[in-house]
Structure 1
C-alpha cells in the first residue's frame, strides 16, 4: 500500500492524519527537490469542479515546491481584459472555452509550474491531450456539500447564476466526474487546512512518479 493510501485509510478510520495540519514535517526539502527533478519540464495541473480548492491549494503547493503558480482563469481575464463573468455575458460559453484552450496550451509551454485550471477546462479533449503531453494532472475531488459551502461565498460564478445553483452543481458533478477521473492521480479536497491537502497531493505525485521517500522522511 502506498504512503498516500495508508494516510487516506487512517483518516477514513477516524484516526489522525499522518503529519499534523500545517506542521510542514511530512514533506522535507529533499523530497520536494526530488519531486521537482522527476517532473523535469512538466507542469503540475490541478483539475476539478469549481470550489474544490485548486487555486488555494495550488498556491501552497507551488510555494512548497519552489515553482511558479499560475491560475488559468486569471490569465484568461488578463488576455481578454474582461472578467470571466463578462466574457460569458458578452461572448457566451463556447467562445470562452475556445479562449481557455488557447491560454492553457500557451501556459503549458512555459512550465514547469503549478497550474490551476477552471472547472470546465478538462472537459475539452484538446486541453486533455495538451495536458497529457506536457504535465501531470491531479484531480482535486470534492463532494457536493463541500463545494456548495465554498461557492456560496462567491456568488459571481457564471454557471450558477440561476434559480437552482445546487441542482446545477449536482448536474455538473455527474457530468464532469467521469472525465476528471481521466487525470493521472487524484486527491480528496475536504474541510481541513489547505496544507493537509497540499501534502496529500505531493504524496500522490510521489506515488505516480514511482518516487521512494528517504527513510527518515517517511
Structure 2
C-alpha cells in the first residue's frame, strides 16, 4: 500500500511522511526531491526559468512513477492535486491523506521561508489564503482521510494517521504490550 500525503506548503507532508514511514517500517519518497534530481536544479530556479506549467508536467510524471511502487509513504508537492489526472492517479493507486492546516498557521510556519516560489510575492499572507481557498476543495476531493494539523506535534499527527488507517481496516490494530 502506498500512502500519499497531500496538503498546502508547510502542512508537514515531508516531516510527517518521514516519521510515518519510519513507524510503519516502509520507504519514504519526497516528490520534490525526486523532481530536483530529475531537473538537476532547485525547484525555485526551475520555476523561475521554465514556469509553473513545465514544473507541473514533471510533477505529474514523478507522481505517475512513484505511485507504481508496492508500498511506502509519498509526500507530494503542495500543488500536485491541481491537475485532475494527478488526483485520479493518487486516489486510484494510493490511500490519500490530506494534512489540512489553516492559512494563519501556514503563514506562521513559512513566513521566513525563501525557497517556496509561489510565496515570493508582496503579501505572502494573502497569497497563502488565496492558495488555500483555491486548493482546499481539490485536497478534499483527492483525500481518503483528512487530518487537521494546525498545532499537533509530529508524533501526534503520525499516531492520528495510523489510528485512521487502523480504523479503516488498512493496518492491523496495534495492541499495547502487556
**Same fold judged by TM-score > 0.5?**
yes
Mapped contact 1:185–1:208 kept (Cα < 8 A): no
Equivalent of residue 132 in structure 2, options 165, 173, 185: 173
Between 152-161 and 111-120, report the one with greater CA deviation: 152-161
The answer to whether 1:128 aligns with 2:107 is no
* Structure having the higher Rg: 1
- What does the per-residue CA deviation read over 1:84-118, in whole Å, with 9 as the maximum and x for residues that have no partner? 10110111000100000001100111231100001
Question: Which residue number in structure 1 is paired with residue 102 of structure 2?
Answer: 143
In structure 2, the CA distance between the partners of 1:211 and 1:89, relative to structure 1 (3 Å rule), is: closer
SS in 2 for 1:187: strand
3-state DSSP of counterpart to 1:50: coil
Choose which of 113, 126, 145 in structure 2 pairs with 1:185.
145
For 1:95-147, what per-residue CA distance to the aligned partner results, in whole angstroms no more than 9, with x for missing partners? 10000000110011123110000110012111111112211000001011211
CA contact (8 A) 1:184 1:208 kept: no
Q: What whole-Å deviation, never above 9, does each CA across 1:174-207 have from its counterpart, x for those lacking one? A: 0111111121011011223200011011111223
Describe the shift of the 1:149–1:65 C-alpha distance in structure 2 as closer, same or farther (beyond 3 A). Answer: same
Q: Which runs of 5+ in 2 are unaligned?
A: none
Give the SS at the match of 2:99. Answer: strand
Q: Does structure 1 residue 164 correspond to structure 2 residue 123? A: yes
TM-score for both structures, normalised by structure 1? 0.77
The two structures have a TM-score, normalised by structure 2, of 0.93
Deviation at 1:214, TM superposition (A): 5.9
Q: Which residue does 1:197 correspond to in 2?
A: 157
